[in-house]
Structure 1
Amino acid sequence: MAREREVGTLWIGGPLSWLEQLCLKSFVDKGQKITLFSYEDIPNVPEGVIRRDGREIIDTDDFIKYEHKNSFALFADWFRLHMIHQCPGMIWIDTDVYCHRPMDYDSDYVMGYELPGEHRVNNAILGLPHDSEILAQMLDFTSDRYSIAPFLPKGKQKDFVKKAKAGKPVHITQQPWGVWGPMMVTHYVHELGLEDKVQPLDAFYPITFRDRTKFLRRAAIAEGLITEDTTALHLWASNKRQLGNQHHGLAPKGSYLEKLVKEHGIEPALAPIKGRGVATFDGALVDHLDLEEVATVADLTGAARSFVLSLHHQHDCDIQLIDVDPSGQFGNDPQPWIADYCAFLQENGVDSNRIRVIRREKDLRPVDVLCNLDGFGSAYRIRHLNRIFDRCLHSDSRVFMDIKKGSGAFPFLKDYGTNEQLSTREDGGKPVIRVVVTPKPPEGGDDAAWDEIATRLAGDDGFYRPGPEGHSFLFMPRSDDTLVVTFDNLDITMNKRDDRRPWGYSFIKEQGWSMLGVLAGGWTWYRNPWVSDQFDELRDSGFFNRFKRVVFYGASMGGYAACAFSAAAPGADVVAISPQSTLDKSIVPWETRYKVAWDRDFSGPYGDAAQVSGAANKVYILYDPYEPLDSGHVARFENDNVERLRAPLLGHRLGSSLNQMGILSPIILGALSGTLTSQDYYQMLRTRKTFPRYQRELFTRAVDKDHTQLAKRLGEYILARNDNRKVRLGLKDL
């Protein structure tokens, strides 16, 4: 019987790229137990990977790295030795090692030659007896951070000895790459005569470092080099540089890497490759975006493809491509990048109806993210941005752009807002600085403008109550029959709606219902104590008792609030789309989104929405059961008054999908009026069968589950009725 082995690896912290996700998930999918050690939160670890704190092995915050390459491989070289020593039998694997088939080696010696000639031993896969002489000697050697390795070139050793005698010894972080890695392991293997313990080249490194880009070429090329003796396959993280520079951080079409991500259900656009060493790629811009939600992203120059694709897959946002020439003019010949950009997006799962090419100035609208990489301010004159900024920016927009020194861009931007410098590179001998721009508030501020609008809407019989952090309560009385309490974001109201009205204003007005709009000045989850105090006062004054029926409505953050604050009006109905139950990390430690609100206080009578909404009459929750975080929150709503209305494969922003399908209004009207039945809902939801996103997701799931014949029939059914590029390409692959 083969020996069952466990593998272990390290990721210090922060999100994984799709390459690490692929490798970790491959061990889970192939049935080999894998543990990931880390020192910080990692939000996107594949399910089935065992998590452990790295401080169990080395309790430190000193993450040494090879400074010349900006590589934490040095700390990993040190960590793996201590992991092997403290975890007998565990095999170390780098996070760029793929499980071709499980390692079931009987011996505790698990290591392999990485080059023809069988001399150099790599440590990307390393197993050693925890009490072995080789491990003891390497632990001793690495205990001195100024040690001079006897396996360094003689000239380098002499130089280091000279500097040490002069009182300036060379720290390990300044020494050559691999001195605690492959060079050290190779030295001690041969020093101790352990050559017979080393696996041949094709066990782990059938594709050598020199040939590493073969993983990026036609799949058959790599497959022809992998043998039946290959187990853990080193994919070489160095490929990230070419993936970022030439393939927008994605797996190249038709490559071996693309075959693997499809096999294991990894979506590269959700976890873009952001950099390698000192090089950074456009996908890294997602780390500098401080917005919790993005509804629309626009690209001015066609140079932000990986960033835009990642935003779309993470936020389900619409994409605008602004077709202007280098002088900022519309209406001339289409820019050459437009058609190729559209094809790229559609090839990577973006429905064509989510892409809009803007060819007239009057069609420009405010967007959440505007990309101007290698464009106005670096390659073209900055003054041509005036009209675009004036039409596209709202107070919560973010602009990512490049600025060449001497272009006049920094003085230009002072009129629009502040900027944060992200990185610098050289272009033609001049520095080019990448920045993110945050617009300044309009004259007088949104608050002042909202005060005027809200006071007018409230009239003599209603009320408007402004509070801290931009929170406010606006009551507009109409009928004592029904009151609808809505939760909205002030920025969306003021900057993303032409009428500058709270969500549902016209809709609710048409029904003759009274409305209480509760607005937040940002992503606060309404957790300012002032908001709770207002609901206490409304409850205690009998405000809600005036109405025969009270309904609380909201989506996402507003959905949380609708459920939570319904406790102020026991017996009310609630309609919530994709709500959170709480963001208290002690209750929902698995919630990795919305970090901006993690430090908020979610205690008190309006804290845990899943619990306090039990006082409501009926709680309608619309959600996508295949969104794991959303379904995790919904599962916490266990009271008998909850009616779960599933919207499979429509995502977190399913309100947008329902609206595109033309059924959001009748669903919400029925729910708010109390006439919606589950039969009515699912009858209307049948419309999704012709909705491109649903078709794509359904087809993808069939492929991922290896239901090949079902996927073929489904794909043919879809294409017989309408073109769906993702389905068409997927069907071709089948």
Structure 2
Amino acid sequence: MATDRASWLARMDEICAEEGYFEPLGARHHAFFADEGATLLVTFESLDAIRARPNQMPFGLSIAEEKGWSQLCLIAEGETWYRDPAIYRYFDRLVDDAFFEDFDHVVFYGAGMAGYAACAYSVCAPGATVVALAPRATLDPAVAGWDRRDLAQRRLNFTDRFGYAPDMVEGAGEVFVIYDPRVTEDAMHAALFTKPFVTKLRTPFLGDRMEQALNAMGVLPPLLRTACEGRMTALEFHRLWRRRRVFGPYLKNILGHVEGEGRIARAISICRSVNARVSAPRFRRRQAELEAQLASRSES
């Protein structure tokens, strides 16, 4: 287990010595490549998130290793939004070397900042599948001035190469934009992805921690496996999305929303539905409280 950045970097160099490589891209990015099979999963991840994982390895590698696939991970140190000429040159090199042409199937994946990057750099692998969770189209204030998040990162250049993500997916095979329509800014960014090959998939009540929630409910790994196998469809996603029906944080969010609107009868129906499917003491207690509250209202 690496205890600091330097030891982690040294460990990655050692791991990649035989199959693949690990190399710095400028001051704040790295490229990790594991050469295993004819399917390639490209992920964009943060150094902090990787080091927080039990094995301190990229999330994408856990998906690829299981199936014997190759994995390319672009790693960012901090909120860089992957806006760095060193990354541009790296992808130029991959294109010049016909790197992506060596694979039968290529999938780009990322969430939030990384979702933006997955869309933006997918232009380098025509025909690739893109799976992006809550991707931003751009942080350029001239285009997305209505998004007041990440104000400091607006100083980055989103008008040069690989800048506007909805244009960069032009050559993709299929693009799946997954977002929470209740997060207004995310819904507005999703609306900018207008190509006919873009499928928009709504995941209400997940909020701004969508990747963590989908992973916790066991949706994300099979979703990416499905994409890498070329079987990703809206129907397949919704089949996996049904797992939300037994995911506590999602159910609590819905119940809280309904109660906040004062819809007691609807809240009781939600509690009954949850209690019929899973053992949920909190929902049993809340159902009893709400039923008593509703009965009190009826008597008054």
**C-alpha distance in 1, partners of 2:20/2:271?**
55
> Could you tell me which of 136, 147, 158 is aligned with 1:591?
147
Q: Are the structure 2 counterparts of residues 596 and 492 from structure 1 closer, same or farther at C-alpha, using a change threshold of 3 Å?
A: farther
> Could you tell me which of 465, 472, 480 is aligned with 2:23?
465
Q: Are the structure 2 counterparts of residues 458 and 700 from structure 1 closer, same or farther at C-alpha, using a change threshold of 3 Å?
A: same
Which amino acid in structure 1 is aligned with residue 66 of structure 2? E
Please tell me whether the aligned partners of residues 471 and 518 of structure 1 are also in contact (alpha carbons under 8 angstroms): yes
* Alignment partner, residue 50 of structure 2: 493
Pair 1:580 & 2:124 matched: no
**C-alpha distance in 1, partners of 2:119/2:78?**
19
**C-alpha distance in 1, partners of 2:251/2:164?**
35
> Could you tell me which of 3, 6, 14 is aligned with 1:456?
14
Please tell me whether the aligned partners of residues 552 and 572 of structure 1 are also in contact (alpha carbons under 8 angstroms): yes
Pair 1:668 & 2:224 matched: yes
What's the secondary structure of 1:709's corresponding residue?
helix
**C-alpha distance in 2, partners of 1:634/1:727?**
38
Which amino acid in structure 2 is aligned with residue 459 of structure 1? A
Pair 1:477 & 2:35 matched: yes
* Alignment partner, residue 162 of structure 1: none
Which amino acid in structure 2 is aligned with residue 598 of structure 1? R
Pair 1:509 & 2:62 matched: no
Which amino acid in structure 1 is aligned with residue 108 of structure 2? F
**C-alpha distance in 1, partners of 2:193/2:27?**
29
Query: Which string of whole-angstrom CA distances, capped at 9 and with x for unpartnered residues, describes residues 142-179 of structure 1?
Result: xxxxxxxxxxxxxxxxxxxxxxxxxxxxxxxxxxxxxx
**C-alpha distance in 2, partners of 1:702/1:646?**
19
**C-alpha distance in 2, partners of 1:699/1:473?**
43
**C-alpha distance in 1, partners of 2:270/2:77?**
45
Pair 1:632 & 2:188 matched: yes
Unaligned runs of 5+ in 1: 1-393, 396-441
**C-alpha distance in 1, partners of 2:284/2:23?**
49
Q: Are the structure 2 counterparts of residues 691 and 462 from structure 1 closer, same or farther at C-alpha, using a change threshold of 3 Å?
A: closer
**C-alpha distance in 1, partners of 2:171/2:284?**
45
Pair 1:563 & 2:111 matched: no
**C-alpha distance in 2, partners of 1:639/1:469?**
35
Q: How far off is 1:583 after superposition?
A: 1.1
* Alignment partner, residue 651 of structure 1: 207
What's the secondary structure of 2:175's corresponding residue?
strand
**C-alpha distance in 2, partners of 1:693/1:514?**
33
TM-score relative to the length of structure 1? 0.37
Unaligned runs of 5+ in 2: 295-300
Please tell me whether the aligned partners of residues 719 and 728 of structure 1 are also in contact (alpha carbons under 8 angstroms): no
* Alignment partner, residue 526 of structure 1: 82
Worse-superposed segment, 718-727 or 508-517? 718-727
What's the secondary structure of 2:251's corresponding residue?
helix
Q: How far off is 1:587 after superposition?
A: 0.9
1:374-453 superposed matches below 5 A: 442=4, 446=5, 448-453=6-11
> Could you tell me which of 692, 696, 718 is aligned with 2:274?
718
User: How many residues matched?
Assistant: 289
Please tell me whether the aligned partners of residues 219 and 240 of structure 2 are also in contact (alpha carbons under 8 angstroms): yes
Q: How far off is 1:488 after superposition?
A: 1.0
Q: How far off is 1:487 after superposition?
A: 0.8
Q: Are the structure 2 counterparts of residues 533 and 606 from structure 1 closer, same or farther at C-alpha, using a change threshold of 3 Å?
A: same
**C-alpha distance in 2, partners of 1:593/1:705?**
27
What's the secondary structure of 1:538's corresponding residue?
helix
* Alignment partner, residue 618 of structure 1: 174
Query: Which string of whole-angstrom CA distances, capped at 9 and with x for unpartnered residues, describes residues 593-628 of structure 1?
Result: 223412110112311112211221111122212121
**C-alpha distance in 2, partners of 1:623/1:639?**
16
Please tell me whether the aligned partners of residues 60 and 71 of structure 2 are also in contact (alpha carbons under 8 angstroms): no
Q: How far off is 1:456 after superposition?
A: 2.5
Please tell me whether the aligned partners of residues 42 and 72 of structure 2 are also in contact (alpha carbons under 8 angstroms): yes
Q: How far off is 1:457 after superposition?
A: 3.0
* Alignment partner, residue 549 of structure 1: 105
Q: How far off is 1:695 after superposition?
A: 2.0
Please tell me whether the aligned partners of residues 105 and 228 of structure 2 are also in contact (alpha carbons under 8 angstroms): no
**C-alpha distance in 2, partners of 1:485/1:550?**
7
Q: Are the structure 2 counterparts of residues 697 and 464 from structure 1 closer, same or farther at C-alpha, using a change threshold of 3 Å?
A: closer
Q: Are the structure 2 counterparts of residues 522 and 727 from structure 1 closer, same or farther at C-alpha, using a change threshold of 3 Å?
A: farther
Q: How far off is 1:505 after superposition?
A: 1.4
Please tell me whether the aligned partners of residues 649 and 698 of structure 1 are also in contact (alpha carbons under 8 angstroms): yes
**C-alpha distance in 1, partners of 2:69/2:162?**
25
Q: Are the structure 2 counterparts of residues 726 and 520 from structure 1 closer, same or farther at C-alpha, using a change threshold of 3 Å?
A: farther
**C-alpha distance in 1, partners of 2:214/2:250?**
11
Pair 1:679 & 2:235 matched: yes
Pair 1:700 & 2:251 matched: no
Q: Are the structure 2 counterparts of residues 691 and 468 from structure 1 closer, same or farther at C-alpha, using a change threshold of 3 Å?
A: same
* Alignment partner, residue 606 of structure 1: 162
Query: Which string of whole-angstrom CA distances, capped at 9 and with x for unpartnered residues, describes residues 8-50 of structure 1?
Result: xxxxxxxxxxxxxxxxxxxxxxxxxxxxxxxxxxxxxxxxxxx
Higher relative contact order (CA 8 A, sep 6+): 2
**C-alpha distance in 2, partners of 1:567/1:706?**
48
Q: Are the structure 2 counterparts of residues 450 and 714 from structure 1 closer, same or farther at C-alpha, using a change threshold of 3 Å?
A: closer
What's the secondary structure of 2:269's corresponding residue?
helix
**C-alpha distance in 1, partners of 2:122/2:113?**
14
Query: Which string of whole-angstrom CA distances, capped at 9 and with x for unpartnered residues, describes residues 660-706 of structure 1?
Result: 22232212211222212222221221221222222222233334445
TM-score relative to the length of structure 2? 0.87
Please tell me whether the aligned partners of residues 217 and 244 of structure 2 are also in contact (alpha carbons under 8 angstroms): yes
What's the secondary structure of 1:531's corresponding residue?
helix
* Alignment partner, residue 338 of structure 1: none
Please tell me whether the aligned partners of residues 275 and 284 of structure 2 are also in contact (alpha carbons under 8 angstroms): no
Please tell me whether the aligned partners of residues 25 and 90 of structure 2 are also in contact (alpha carbons under 8 angstroms): no
What's the secondary structure of 2:83's corresponding residue?
coil
Please tell me whether the aligned partners of residues 613 and 619 of structure 1 are also in contact (alpha carbons under 8 angstroms): yes
**C-alpha distance in 2, partners of 1:518/1:534?**
10
**C-alpha distance in 2, partners of 1:568/1:733?**
59
Q: How far off is 1:514 after superposition?
A: 1.1
Which amino acid in structure 2 is aligned with residue 484 of structure 1? L
Higher gyration radius (CA): 1
Which amino acid in structure 1 is aligned with residue 215 of structure 2? N
Please tell me whether the aligned partners of residues 557 and 580 of structure 1 are also in contact (alpha carbons under 8 angstroms): yes
What's the secondary structure of 1:550's corresponding residue?
strand
Q: Are the structure 2 counterparts of residues 509 and 705 from structure 1 closer, same or farther at C-alpha, using a change threshold of 3 Å?
A: same
Q: Are the structure 2 counterparts of residues 724 and 478 from structure 1 closer, same or farther at C-alpha, using a change threshold of 3 Å?
A: same
What's the secondary structure of 2:27's corresponding residue?
helix
Please tell me whether the aligned partners of residues 470 and 490 of structure 1 are also in contact (alpha carbons under 8 angstroms): no
1:191-206 superposed matches below 5 A: none
Q: Are the structure 2 counterparts of residues 596 and 709 from structure 1 closer, same or farther at C-alpha, using a change threshold of 3 Å?
A: same
Which amino acid in structure 1 is aligned with residue 11 of structure 2? I
Please tell me whether the aligned partners of residues 138 and 164 of structure 2 are also in contact (alpha carbons under 8 angstroms): yes
Identical columns (%): 35
RMSD: 2.4
**C-alpha distance in 1, partners of 2:17/2:101?**
21
Q: How far off is 1:725 after superposition?
A: 6.1
